[in-house]
Structure 1
Amino acid sequence: MIFNETSIQGVYIIDLELLKDDRGFFARSFCAQEFEERGLKAAIAQCNMSFNHKKGTVRGMHFQIPPATETKFIRCTQGAVYDVIVDLRKDSPTYLSHVGVELSADNRRALYVPEMFAHGYQTLTDNAEVIYQVTEFYTPGYERGLRHSDPKLAIDWPLPVTTISHKDANWPLLDDQPTDQPTDQPVSLGVSS
């Protein structure tokens, strides 16, 4: 694997190192040892998949607060998405900065997302599918989200939004975010992304 560090510390875009021959190619898409050598979390608690019918669909921006923070390893396995993460580490020099990258079945890229980053994406094609390896179990009372269109985030989504869930469209703006206390009521959706 080829680890490309981004402008935000701890965030990596990971490309495959292809071993090609007349059959096609072989590549390692995940290796706990290579992650750990770079100080990255490699334990996987869950592996999730999302499928999206329409180009322009937005999912996110999701995260979990302590003690249920998640690290995510994200790959698009069908179609293409514009994947965005926002740094929510209050002590970080890049607090509230974001990174956006195209992940697609064609480029086979993946994104490593550390704890305390909000994550979301927009589909660039119809029938886009995304796989998430996650280090923490989904914990509804600790789930939070940011509104994808929050002007303070200034995310330049590539397409008009065609589809978004009611929950994702109505996450509070940054200025109205709740304190980092768990909620008593689980959210209605049984997955975090």
Structure 2
Amino acid sequence: MELLRASELADRLSLSRGRISQLVSEGKFDGCYQGNGRNRRFDLAKCVSSLDRTLDFGQMHGNGAEAAATRREVLRETENASGLPAGASQLPDSDTDAMRLVKLEKEKEGLRKLKRENLAYEQAYALRSEVDTQVRRMLQQEIMQIETMLCHAAQRIADELAVDMKTVRSILMQTWRKQREERAQVLDGAADQAELTDAECEADI
């Protein structure tokens, strides 16, 4: 049994140290390590086996393809060293076909799940796009109404104070545009400081 520190496990599995900590907190390494905190030591073979059981199809492919390939290589090394798959007892040759069928069925279910997720994402994206279009149209109309109101206000001020209407209108429009620019900068800053969601954090595996 090969026991590794978290940093060593991260190197062997081509993952970041932060991803290892995340997998521990998610319970995907339950039963695969001894100790806690800095004294925690991981059983490499059990960790590989646990990841292959608990990660979904999307995490096993795409961005996670390289890490999955690394795990397969580690698993082969473990099997070559012990003569048995990690965490398994000896199986008769007659079980080979059954194991292949189980694996194939698991992969097919993973594909079906991925298709369902893709369909749901496409539907949600289409809905969000329509909502974004409607919101932009409403904002444009609101801005036009505000600018029309400012023009009327400039005319009224000019009439009541006997000043040049164009000058009043220019002052009001400059003030309004400066306010829009300042608000846009504030919103851009808030967007830059926004933290990643859990789904975005998963993309590094």
If the length of structure 2 is used for normalisation, what is the TM-score? 0.24
Higher relative contact order (CA 8 A, sep 6+): 1
User: Per residue, is there more strand in 1 or in 2?
Assistant: 1
User: Per residue, is there more helix in 1 or in 2?
Assistant: 2
